[in-house]
Homo-oligomer: A and B are copies of this chain.
Amino acid sequence: MPRTLVSQTPQKIGQEVTLKGWVNARRDHGKIIFIDLRDRTGLVQLVCANSASDLRNEDVIEIKGLIQKRPASLINPKLETGEIEVAVSEIKTLAKAEKLPFDMGQETLNVELPILLDYRPLTLRHPKVQAIFKIQETIINAFRNTLRTDGFTEFQAPAIVPAATEGGAEIFPIQYYDHQAFLGQSPQLYKQIMVGVFERVFTVAKAFRAEPSVTTRHLSEYITLDAEFGFIESWEDLMTQAEKLIKAIFKEVAKENSRELELFNASIPQTSTTLPKLKMREAQQIIFERTKRDHRSEPDLDPEDEKEICRYSLEKYGSELIFITHYPTKKRPFYTFADPKDPDYTLSFDLLGRGLEWITGGQRINDYQTLLNKIIERSNKPKDFEIYLQAFKYGMPPEGGFALGAERITMQILGLSNVREASLFPRDMERVDIRLSSTPSNGHK
């Protein structure tokens, strides 16, 4: 008998079926054993006799049974299959599980973060943990589909790079044959090169940052969603595209993942028809007026400022997202385009939401000589930028772009308290799958 998926069971009342999956939970009621069977499409209740008495959570089973309507009093409205159950006639164990180190059968997995990560292959199976990554898949798909529809070409950016091009401290060195190479801190330089090729490009790539501290917002390896495009009329085109993209992502998550959002009691951020925009200096003035915290000559917003300006945006514009623009030139990377009207500030932006940065972007310098001068001015070696500079030497249109971290967006939509929860296998100072011992594992330092 071909396999029936759990999600198909409500349509097969009265039929004999074969189901396959994992024992998600087991409840014994005298001679009857109830099993919640989990497959990739959901959960369903099995009603078993003593034959199930050997079954443990996470055992992999194949069963034959009859799908029955539940009596009205026993309907479970929280379960998509809550109106039926399966009277089991035959059980085959496909693989046994050892005794679990903690209870996996509750609606919310009740373990601390270190345990959540120490047992990642197990904890990822929990329906509420799975939900995080179903949403992340939707975010990444929506990113790709929205841009593709707008004429963007997807490319695969390299991870290994020849030099530390965006500041040397937070970069991982690789022993590359007899040489030293590095893990790319972002696909920035490559996406700009690709504008010279396809005009409009995007990539779903890995960014690697040797973050020197452990925070709730940073990972050492993360998924970056990067877009870049040429022939812009104005740097505001970049914000228009970013706004269109993030709203398309919200729409898609709302459509595809309503059940997953519900599990977290989460909702898509509220946004205005056009997202509000403030210059950084204006934002600092508003923060000063609201809180008497005077950061008006600081070169950046600090985490408290970001939270405050998001509160302001929601109160004033009914939008949980707000663009902050014109960050100081000296705080932004060398390739950032200075505002011709006020060169101490850049044509750059951050999109903030719910107190954190969601997207960062801006116009780039596209003139070869200006770019070369900037590289030298910042004490970089033009030799390290040889390939990158070629793209500009041979004709680059006015261009710009932006980037989003997939884990960060996932975390912010769901209201998770730590970005590690939104990473399948988070890497940080203290962990690569397993916890790193505090002493080096060998002489390689």
Contacts and interface: CB of A to CB of B under 8 A. Distances in A.
B59 A395 contact: yes
Contact of A432 (B160, B367, B395): B160
A7 to B, nearest CB: 10
B162 A432 contact: yes
A387 B159 CA distance: 24
B162 A172 contact: no
27 contacts: A39-B199, A40-B198, A40-B199, A60-B397, A94-B397, A94-B398, A95-B366, A97-B394, A120-B387, A121-B197, A121-B387, A125-B394, A140-B154, A156-B223, A158-B424, A158-B427, A159-B159, A160-B172, A160-B220, A160-B221, A162-B433, A174-B175, A178-B439, A178-B445, A181-B432, A204-B204, A386-B434
For this complex, into which size category does the number of interface residues on chain A fall?
35 or more
Contacts of A75: none
Contacts of A395: 22-23, 58-60, 95-97
Given A95-B367, A179-B440, A432-B161, A124 B394 contact: no
Copies in the complex: 2
Interface in A89-143: 94-98, 100, 119-122, 124-125, 130, 133-134, 136-137, 140-141
A193 B429 CA distance: 23
Interface string A335-368: 0000000000000000000000000000000111
Contacts of A281: none
Given A156-B204, A179-B432, A386-B434, 18 more contacts: A3-B231, A22-B395, A59-B395, A60-B396, A119-B390, A121-B391, A122-B394, A124-B196, A125-B196, A125-B197, A134-B153, A137-B155, A141-B154, A158-B425, A161-B432, A162-B433, A179-B441, A204-B204
What 5 A-B pairs are tightest by C-beta distance, nearest first?
Answer: A97-B395, A121-B391, A40-B199, A58-B395, A162-B432
Nearest to A444: B180
